Amino acid sequence: MQLQEILYSQGFGTRRVCAGLIQQGHVHVYGPGDDAPAMLCTDAVTEFAEIGLRFRVQGVDWSYHHKAYLMLHKPRGTECSQKPSTYPSIYTLLPSPLRSRPQKAAVQGVQAVGRLDQDTTGLLLLTDDGKFIHRMSSPRHHVPKVYEVRVRHPFDDRQLSRLLAGVVLDDDPDLVRAAACEAVDAHLVRLTLTEGKYHQVKRMLAAVGNRVEALHRSRIGGLSLPGDLAAGQWRWLTASELQAVQVG
């Protein structure tokens, strides 16, 4: 694939912008091997094998990814929206190329797989793979999501039993059940859900007479939020993590 096409596919701008970056000396391409140096390339139509390609654009190192699969440690006080109403958007935490990766859809760039409320923290996935978003979001696939819930009132066995048996939310006649529930201490609950409804955790706790004070998502499928990923930081998913997140 031509180098300008590679940069375009990775979100560095239009083909003309990408060609300009190359011709102006802003792009270096690494040779094969982990220790290979980055070599300046000023010919936009030079062909490279894109799989496994590493390159540097304006001093920042990148690797080629046919599809983007990311994890983000969502901080408190951010919105999972491209057009936030009150708080900063989570997308401002990502570098520009990830927000500009070309897609056939009207919206470009990576998209959040589901949403977390502005005051909820924790593991959030982002991708430009529409099929992956559908598979992870569909209630038919029952992907478990684990939440650490800090509650205002002491959590007791009655509340735990009701969450496991199912509660009725005001807009849904069907019972909504927790897949698993554990009282970590009197005010901390570990709750596992396999579906995602609007403000579901908060409404489920309210239905059993309690109130959510803080909410953190610690796990999706078989993937836990790494302890070394600080709030506001992101990174690419590894192949094993991508597989794990789709396993309950």
Catalytic residues: 117
Token pair belonging to 225: 């939020």
The DSSP output letter for 229 is S
The DSSP output letter for 220 is E
Task: Please tell me the number of Cα atoms within 13 Å of 64 on its side-chain side.
Answer: 20
- Angstrom distance (rounded) from CA 6 to CA 4: 5
Report angle CA 99, 142, 224 to the nearest 5 degrees: 60
**Hey, is 177 helix, strand or coil?**
coil
**CB–CB of 27/15 below 8 Å?**
no
φ and ψ of 39, to 5 deg: -105, 135
DSSP string for residues in 53-81: -EEEETTEEEE--SS-EEEEEEPTT-BSS
The DSSP output letter for 103 is -
Pairing between β-strand 111-112 and β-strand 120-127 as defined by DSSP bridges: antiparallel
